[in-house]
Amino acid sequence: MVRFGLTVVRHGETRYNKDKILQGQGVDEPLSATGFRQADAAGLFLSNVKFTHVFSSDLLRAKQTAAAILGKNRFSKDLEIKYDARLRERKYGVAEGKPLADLKAMAKDAGEQCPSFTPSGGETLDEVRERARDFFEFLCQLAVELEQKEHGKPGAPGRSSGTSGEQFVFPWTNHCSEAELSSAGSGSSTVLDANILVVSHGAYMRNWIGYMVSDLNCTLPANLTKSQLSSVSPNTGVSHFIIKLENGNLLKPNITCVCLNQDSHLVDVGAECVASKVF
């Protein structure tokens, strides 16, 4: 069996986030001072997690967040961050650089509702989901190839990451039940083939998680509400998943969500953690 961990983090706050202005792909804003503090806080929260791979959107706010998180990590500071356009935010076309209220007005005029409305020049939700599906399948293939490569080495332990259960579990133990950790297969004897960090964007992440739940039957935490599932992650909100591939079968991944949009690390940052419905 192939087993890997997947930690997904939304980028830190930008001034456009604070002012509720859509950025999408066409507005490449840096993090604000608050955004950098949030990214540092997320890094401290994840500092004891040994990552084997790091991927980030190639937009500046995500790149800066990924660098800040790695900078606080005890085990993974020297990992190369790989930038991937498939992790970019949803493209909002003519609505980019405009207030969220303008997008809502456009949707109302078209007789539609956010976030399903697609402004001129923007991506449909199906197009965003296809990007997310393609990237997730790439991660699954990566984990399978790592396991096969390690398995073929003489005297190899059979797992490439050496990521002990202790290093993996540490941040999540206060945010999910023992049953959820157990069902994720993350006991102290568990070793992962890969432990992957991904830094991306709010609307994109919501679509990706929606794909894993509706299409791949991801198991969710027992106390998660429908409202929480449909909400956009706060800036630097952390979600964690365990993916198992029986016999390397890429078509039927077994996915367990350990936590979704976790934000306890932001308590002392002093930032507004309530996310708008669309970004």
- The answer to the question of whether 202 is labelled as a binding residue is no
- To the question of whether residue 65 is assigned a binding role by annotation, the answer is no
- Does 206 belong to an annotated binding site? no
Q: Is 10 among the annotated ligand-binding positions?
A: yes
90 is in an annotated binding site: yes
12 is in an annotated binding site: yes
The tokens describing 48, both together, are 């004891």
Residues annotated catalytic, as ranges: 11, 89
Q: Write the DSSP assignment of the chain as a string of letters.
A: -EEEEEEEEEPPP-HHHHTTB--TTT--PPP-HHHHHHHHHHHHHTTT---SEEEE-SSHHHHHHHHHHHHT-SS-TTPPEEE-GGGSPPPBGGGTTSBHHHHHHHHHHTT--TTT---TTB--HHHHHHHHHHHHHHHHHHHHHHHHHHHTSTT--S-SS-B-HHHHHGGGTTSS-HHHHHHTT-STT--BSEEEEEEE-HHHHHHHHHHHHHTT--B--TT--HHHHHSPPPTT-EEEEEEEEGGG-TTS-EEEEEEEEE-GGGTTTT---PPPS--
Tell me if 225 is assigned to a ligand binding site: no
Tell me the Cα Rg of the chain: 18
Q: Is 11 among the annotated ligand-binding positions? A: yes
Cβ atoms within 10 Å, residue 85: 11
13 is in an annotated binding site: yes
- Main-chain dihedrals φ then ψ at residue 170, nearest 5 degrees: -40, -55
Binding residues: 10-17, 61, 89-92
Binding residues for substrate: 10-17, 61, 89-92
